[in-house]
Chain A
Amino acid sequence: DTGVSQDPRHKITKRGQNVTFRCDPISEHNRLYWYRQTLGQGPEFLTYFQNEAQLEKSRLLSDRFSAERPKGSFSTLEIQRTEQGDSAMYLCASSLPQGWGDTEAFFGQGTRLTVV
């Protein structure tokens, strides 16, 4: 295990369809984050988990979005009834518990979603 893994790397879907993305974090990392990145912008926070508990959700995460981390390991992000505005790169990151130091988040390569 050399890093955060995301699947699929690319997804094209028709408007109105549901999509699900998977993220496998670095094995000893108990914190997992989802970010969304649109063209020309920096990543924006969506949600994060500590183990299996979802501790914070952004207002960007509408009712059509749901994220889970059932056993505190991998996580899924589902988007229901996709809209063209959902087209973006979805980035997953993981980290060790935040402490007094440089607890950086390690990112995966992202899932690029295109809604047509």
Chain B
Amino acid sequence: AQKITQTQPGMFVQEKEAVTLDCTYDTSDQSYGLFWYKQPSSGEMIFLIYQGSYDEQNATEGRYSLNFQKARKSANLVISASQLGDSAMYFCAMRPLFGNEKLTFGTGTRLTIIP
């Protein structure tokens, strides 16, 4: 079984500041993938970034980076230079790399960027 924990229900951040969204996970799988999705009010889940458990380097995608600490089982999302359009729900998710196809999601963090 897999479990994702996001302990920040909501966060308020000043525009242009960096923000870290926390995610911890639990799994018995040796190989797994970690994902972050953004869900604006329109409802669509937008893929942001991926980290494989075998990756030694932290993933980066533009303003997004994933702070992966395998021993601590954490996969925090860092957004640099936040923008008003970053206001949304953010979900951390994971799945095994082989076999089980389903993504397991956390409960999400609502991020609000203040002008």
Using CB atoms and an 8 Å cutoff, list the residues of chain A in contact with chain B. Answer: 31, 33, 35, 40-45, 48, 55-56, 58, 89, 91, 93, 98, 100-110, 112
Contact = CB atoms under 8 A, between A and B. Distances in A.
B43 A112 contact: yes
Contacts of B93: 42
Given A33-B101, A42-B108, A45-B102, 11 more contacts: A33-B102, A35-B103, A40-B107, A42-B106, A43-B105, A56-B101, A98-B101, A100-B97, A103-B33, A107-B46, A108-B44
Interface of B: 4, 33, 35, 37, 42-47, 50, 52, 91, 93, 97-98, 100-108
Contacts of B91: 42-43
Given A41-B107, A42-B91, A98-B97, A104 B102 contact: no
B109 to A, nearest CB: 10
A58 B100 CA distance: 12
A45 B50 contact: no
A108 B104 CA distance: 17
Contacts of B52: 101-102
A104 B101 contact: no
B22 to A, nearest CB: 14
B43 A43 contact: no
Given A42-B93, A102-B50, A104-B35, A89 B43 contact: yes
Contacts, number: 61
Contacts of A108: 44
Contacts of A42: 4, 91, 93, 105-108
A104 B43 contact: no
Contacts of A101: 52
A48 B43 contact: no
Contacts of A110: 43-44
Interface centre among B52, B104, B105 (most CB of A within 10 A): B105
Closest 7 CB pairs of A and B: A42-B105, A102-B50, A107-B45, A45-B102, A110-B43, A109-B44, A104-B47
A42 B35 CA distance: 13
Contacts of A104: 35, 47, 50
